Amino acid sequence: MAMVCLSDFEAYAKKHLPKIAWDFFAAGADDCSTRDENILAYKRIRFRPRMLRDVSVMDIRTKLLGTEISFPVGIAPTGFHQLAWPDGEKSTARAATAMNTCYIASTYSTCTLEEIAAAAPGGIRWFQLYIHRNRAVSQQLVQQAEALGFQGLVLTADLPYTGKRRDDIRNGFRLPPHMKLKNLEGAFEGGDCSEYGLPPNSLDPSVTWNDIYWLRSLTHLPIIVKGILTKEDAELAVRHGVQGIIVSNHGGRQLDGGPATIDALVEVVDAVQGKIEVYLDGGIRKGSDVLKALALGAKCVFIGRPALWGLAYKGEEGLQDVLRILQDEFRLSMALAGCASISEIGRHLVQFSKL
Amino acid sequence: MAMVCLSDFEAYAKKHLPKIAWDFFAAGADDCSTRDENILAYKRIRFRPRMLRDVSVMDIRTKLLGTEISFPVGIAPTGFHQLAWPDGEKSTARAATAMNTCYIASTYSTCTLEEIAAAAPGGIRWFQLYIHRNRAVSQQLVQQAEALGFQGLVLTADLPYTGKRRDDIRNGFRLPPHMKLKNLEGAFEGGDCSEYGLPPNSLDPSVTWNDIYWLRSLTHLPIIVKGILTKEDAELAVRHGVQGIIVSNHGGRQLDGGPATIDALVEVVDAVQGKIEVYLDGGIRKGSDVLKALALGAKCVFIGRPALWGLAYKGEEGLQDVLRILQDEFRLSMALAGCASISEIGRHLVQFSKL
Amino acid sequence: MAMVCLSDFEAYAKKHLPKIAWDFFAAGADDCSTRDENILAYKRIRFRPRMLRDVSVMDIRTKLLGTEISFPVGIAPTGFHQLAWPDGEKSTARAATAMNTCYIASTYSTCTLEEIAAAAPGGIRWFQLYIHRNRAVSQQLVQQAEALGFQGLVLTADLPYTGKRRDDIRNGFRLPPHMKLKNLEGAFEGGDCSEYGLPPNSLDPSVTWNDIYWLRSLTHLPIIVKGILTKEDAELAVRHGVQGIIVSNHGGRQLDGGPATIDALVEVVDAVQGKIEVYLDGGIRKGSDVLKALALGAKCVFIGRPALWGLAYKGEEGLQDVLRILQDEFRLSMALAGCASISEIGRHLVQFSKL
Amino acid sequence: MAMVCLSDFEAYAKKHLPKIAWDFFAAGADDCSTRDENILAYKRIRFRPRMLRDVSVMDIRTKLLGTEISFPVGIAPTGFHQLAWPDGEKSTARAATAMNTCYIASTYSTCTLEEIAAAAPGGIRWFQLYIHRNRAVSQQLVQQAEALGFQGLVLTADLPYTGKRRDDIRNGFRLPPHMKLKNLEGAFEGGDCSEYGLPPNSLDPSVTWNDIYWLRSLTHLPIIVKGILTKEDAELAVRHGVQGIIVSNHGGRQLDGGPATIDALVEVVDAVQGKIEVYLDGGIRKGSDVLKALALGAKCVFIGRPALWGLAYKGEEGLQDVLRILQDEFRLSMALAGCASISEIGRHLVQFSKL
């Protein structure tokens, strides 16, 4: 089967992964309406493409907090990559580095941060943090990430508790015995690990904006808050001195009924007034989706499930295929819309008044 | 089969109930468009969830006319619970009391009010009234309810005549011989009972707002009017001194083509200007639906068909399961939206301008 | 099979009529989008029902140009009733008279006007006219109708040429040899009758508003123009002195892509400013559809295909069944919306601002 | 099978063409959403038809840049007609000439321009140009077209690179060995012809509006720019002195996510303020679609895929059938909307405020 577009990888993964793993990756909260909206919302946005512009030399590079990446698509933090491919996050790190883009490694990785760092030296990597009730665990992870050369700290803000994903409950989802949350080994020794490999309620639901100051006290890394969907929270993010926001609804896995991320993006972009960078994840399936997100103000987007499909297909190589397809599609979409470089992308490219 | 969400109970009930009973509970008027709109309307409402708020201590209690309930979901009045479970309304009363919430017992119960009251002493219960042409029947029921400790009187306003439910007509729906409308036994002795166990046209279609004064003369119970869908009627309710309104379209069983209750809610809430409490029934299937209704101004919601599915599954225990699932989902939705208590819920939680 | 609602009659007719006859009655122009819109548009209109109004005594009578009918639903002109039932239009006339409502007999009847008049003496009947190139034919029909006691003349304005109904072309639709356009026998003797039983292009496509004056010169009957969909034409109708307008798109059989009649109604009603009566046909399938049309300003509606389904079921008796069901549904819808008489129906009954 | 409407030809072609050829003609970019929108958008536009106007004499002729054609539908440029019918573009030329309308011959024809011109002397023909990196190739084609009597030069502006058409990639689409891009023979001798019969990247992606001046220097033919979708580009077209614009999205084969052409038309028409002619292609499937496009300001429309279906059915004869059906449908739609000549068509014919 030819792997022509991302949905080919999705079909492959659905066919070849164990059902319990596929279900875990595919899961959305409740009725999955927000998960599905993430995709549908792109289909409602119409371009206003410009013609007869010189697009013979295309430059699709951009910068994340000053660091150049090859194109504005990175890897969003997702857990348990060994469920998709034996080498797990090591493969992810290698693929992202090979494609010269950013990989946000999850707290819930099945490889250690050391393994991830060692797998692809010199790669652009951020570390995604859940804050545990046991703050020492989180503090240690942050400082370890910084020591290992991770260049950004992504705080997930939308998971005080885990969303209700029906299929995982029906399946009694647990990590297979040979997989571990390597970065948390020892932290929850011998306990009940029924909630995605962790004890129930191990995350701290009392985290507030003030904890940004606590994180700031732990690390010099830039802090990016992931999970913002409103202007009010965007303003709070600016006021608390973070360096970036990822507009995200956790792939529709947390609060069902929330907006598609592409629909929430404009509100957030307008609120930050260019003071910090705004990124987005959720629903990116084609190069033209990336173009729409950038037109509406995202500096970069991140892919979650498609990266896992790529891993499931052929590990590092499969993920590179996914990224390369997105890169080619994005470059082509830009050219067909009349843009030769990222700086030419803007709201004029979409029918903004109809959003 | 794992019972994970309310639609699992629906599937169970559809499979296990006799078709004639399932059809009766499921029925909507005419094309069932209002019945179905009750559900669809929730899917069109988008949250604006807030992040990084301390939701470690969740308080989901609220009050109905001053009486505390464990969470803002009660049991709407529906008829003929013995069609779902042998113990009928006695099981319903026990489950509601166990969950510390309000049960509105229907005039058309297959247990007597005494049996209901005795089944779960100390429970929070209201009595739903249809006014019959024979006013003495209704007067006696109201006074009996008050004497038995029911704490509110719910007048159904939207049934001067019974809506046209095609399946019931096709099925020739009647109560099985061993079931009786226990509260009306004797009242219609020996007559034709072809209309839902009653003689045709036994209800009084001449009831008007003035009959609120008549009811007031019969009882000291607070009066709640059920079936209001417009601001005009909401204002009349306030002017006639009732204590509460249930925004309801009778589960889509009366006038087909009326609005979804969640769509009518705001108009009613704005009209009453906080002078009385506003509740809602219709279409509640998930905890996030409850949150949407509260965000738009409902003080509490009531479930109709889902309660019957719970009864059909395992009687009192099944209904408790249904309530507990809703309670857990509601608490989680609140937390994921950034609210730790009911008082933090408001219109800011939904994309109000897009309603 | 119980005949509970109009779609039961539709299913019966589809099953029992010869395909060529069913296809002819069901046909819409081109893609049938206007035909289908006629139905879909009702589903988009929401009631604002009022509660606790005395609806114990219901009066659903209304008047057509001063003549009382039992309820505001008449029989729209449709052709070839013998395709549905052997007695053809004679059965239609009898059913309409039995139900005390208006029957608009078509130029393209398979019974003569004399037969129709004789079948149900004293019935309320209008005559629908197509103007033929041979004006003498039309003149004679008008004068015959008046002489036979028809009380109104309905000029069809939307058929300068016949719409393109694909199935009729595929089927090579022709009247069976034993059926005749009885009112036109002799007028087109021995010719090619390939276009719905008539020579091609027998209708006059040069008819204009000035021909209203010509018709006026032929008859004292009130003139009703059928097929108006815009305010401009509504104003012209008033200016040319007609007595009524039927908002119609010919059941979606003429210009595909035109509006649903219920969507065009308000524009026409507002344009005539109460100076003449406005009726509607197209898409009426339930009593609540009638209520919506009256709420938006129609004085009466007419049913086309449902009348044919009734005929196909059991001739006169079947059509009475259809009318009685609509009557019962309309009365019930009125009551459930809080109206005891036609005069209480108005725009306040629908969510007008959302049209 | 009766060929009643254009979708009959589509069904025939889908059944009888080799899959690889059908897929090539049917292909849209990416998810094909723009391709499909081209069709769906017409269904959202509602007519405001006028009645009782004299439509006995219909005149559907119009002019393209001063040259009369029999009705406002021409043949859009599409490639590789021999894939549909052995005689290829020669048949197309003959059919267009027989129907007295304009045929825009593609650069990517499988017949030479000489063959096309010779096949139907005296026909109204424009030549569609892609500008190749090797400008000499393009210059020679333009001058040859002018010498052969082509009367217009259509510059395709929306293909700096070829859109991503998934099925063509999966199929490994290539021209069969016996077919050649006859007008480019010799230009790319012996090279890799994997991109639609041409070497990859043979087109010049550096073309800008300034190249209009270059084209102007090569030919006296009027220049029409094809592929404009925004007012900004429409204004640039006027400013650079072209004679016409074809609002086009290349049949949805280039940038997926762009607007339907009928949706982009008004913006372009308003921008040019009548200074040049505006045409449209994309999604025309019925005569009423033509009427909608003219009502919104197009001077003429062009059909792409339907012409190929006609060729696939019966070559020249099949394409004439397609054109004749469209002509009959268009004339009928005009009459049913109350227009006897092209000049009577305008925005008043559609519900403009609802676009």
Mean pLDDT for D247-251 is: 98
ipTM of the complex, rounded to two decimals: 0.97
Burial class (CB in 10 A: 0-12, 13-18, 19+), A193: middle
Mean pLDDT for B69-74 is: 98
Residue A154: which of A182, A126, A131, A134 has the closest Cα?
Answer: A126
* Percentage of chain A modeled with pLDDT above 90: 92
**Mean confidence (pLDDT) of chain D:** 96
* Percentage of chain C modeled with pLDDT above 70: 99
- pLDDT digits 0-9 by tens, C246-284: 999 999 999 999 999 999 999 999 999 999 999 999 999
Residue A79 to residue A307: CA distance in whole angstroms: 11
* Percentage of chain C modeled with pLDDT above 90: 92
Would residue B240 show up in a list of annotated catalytic residues for this protein?
Answer: no
Is A128 one of the annotated binding-site residues?
yes
Residue D90 to residue D63: CA distance in whole angstroms: 24
Residue numbering of the annotated binding site of B: 77-79, 106, 128, 130, 156, 165, 226, 248, 250, 253, 281-285, 304-305
Provide the pLDDT confidence category of residue C1 given band limits of 50, 70 and 90: confident
Residue type, B141: L
pLDDT at C191 over 70: no
Q: Do residue D166 and residue A50 have CB atoms under 8 angstroms apart?
A: no
pLDDT at A259 over 70: yes
Residue A110 to residue A106: CA distance in whole angstroms: 9
Show which subunits contact C, needing at least 3 CB pairs below 8 angstroms. B, D
Q: Do residue D51 and residue C170 have CB atoms under 8 angstroms apart?
A: no
Strand B67-69 relative to strand B62-64: parallel, antiparallel, unpaired?
antiparallel
Residues of B in contact with A227 (CB under 8 A): 51
Residue C27 or C192, more confident: C27
Categorise residue D350: left if φ over 0, alpha if ψ from -120 to 50, beta otherwise.
beta
- pLDDT digits 0-9 by tens, A44-69: 999 999 999 999 999 999 999 999 99
Which residue in the block uniquely carries the two structure tokens 């077919």?
D179
Q: What does the pLDDT read at residue B193?
A: 72
**Whole-angstrom Cα Rg for chain C:** 19
- Chain A residue nearest residue B292, CA to CA: A257
Could you say which of B160, B169, B209 has the minimum Cβ distance to residue C55? B160
**Mean confidence (pLDDT) of chain B:** 96
Provide the pLDDT confidence category of residue A288 given band limits of 50, 70 and 90: very high
Residue B222: which of B243, B201, B251, B252 has the closest Cα?
Answer: B243
- pLDDT digits 0-9 by tens, A66-93: 999 999 999 999 999 999 999 999 999 9
DSSP secondary structure code for residue A350 in this structure: B
Could you say which of D166, D207, D227 has the minimum Cβ distance to residue A4? D166
CA distance A144 to chain B (A): 24
Q: DSSP 3-state assignment of C328?
A: helix
Q: Do residue C47 and residue B232 have CB atoms under 8 angstroms apart?
A: no
Max Cα distance, chain D (Å): 65
Could you say which of A4, A55, A288 has the minimum Cβ distance to residue D257? A288
- pLDDT digits 0-9 by tens, B20-48: 999 999 999 999 999 999 999 999 999 99
Residue C124: which of C184, C62, C60 has the closest Cα?
Answer: C62
Q: Do chains B and D touch (3 or more CB pairs under 8 A)?
A: no
Is A82 one of the annotated binding-site residues?
no
Query: How many residue contacts between A and B have a Cβ separation below 8 Å?
Result: 87
Q: What does the pLDDT read at residue A186?
A: 76
Q: What does the pLDDT read at residue A190?
A: 61
Max Cα distance, chain C (Å): 65
- pLDDT digits 0-9 by tens, A267-279: 999 999 999 999 9
Residue C109 to residue C150: CA distance in whole angstroms: 15
Residue C259: which of D229, B325, D43, B274 has the closest Cα?
Answer: D43
Interface test with B, best of C44, C46, C52, C344 (most B CBs within 10 A): C52
Residue numbering of the annotated binding site of D for glyoxylate: 165, 250, 253
Provide the pLDDT confidence category of residue C189 given band limits of 50, 70 and 90: low
CA distance D353 to chain A (A): 15
Q: DSSP 3-state assignment of A280?
A: strand
Tokens of A244: 């970036």
Residues of B in contact with C335 (CB under 8 A): 160-161, 205
Contacts of D73 (CB under 8 A, 6+ apart): D101, D284, D290, D300, D301, D302, D303, D323, D326, D327, D330
Residue A336: which of C11, B184, A328, B108 has the closest Cα?
Answer: A328
Q: What does the pLDDT read at residue B201?
A: 82
Could you say which of C157, C163, C169 has the minimum Cβ distance to residue D2? C169
Mean pLDDT for B218-242 is: 98
Mean pLDDT for D173-201 is: 81
Provide the pLDDT confidence category of residue C194 given band limits of 50, 70 and 90: confident
- pLDDT digits 0-9 by tens, B114-153: 999 999 999 999 999 999 999 999 999 999 999 999 999 9
**Structural contact between residues B246 and B277, judged by C-beta atoms closer than 8 angstroms:** no
> What are the catalytic residues of A?
250
**Structural contact between residues D73 and D96, judged by C-beta atoms closer than 8 angstroms:** no
Q: What does the pLDDT read at residue D187?
A: 78
**Structural contact between residues B342 and B72, judged by C-beta atoms closer than 8 angstroms:** yes
- pLDDT digits 0-9 by tens, C37-70: 999 999 999 999 999 999 999 999 999 999 999 9
- pLDDT digits 0-9 by tens, B315-333: 999 999 999 999 999 999 9
Mean pLDDT for A174-202 is: 81
- Chain A residue nearest residue D264, CA to CA: A48
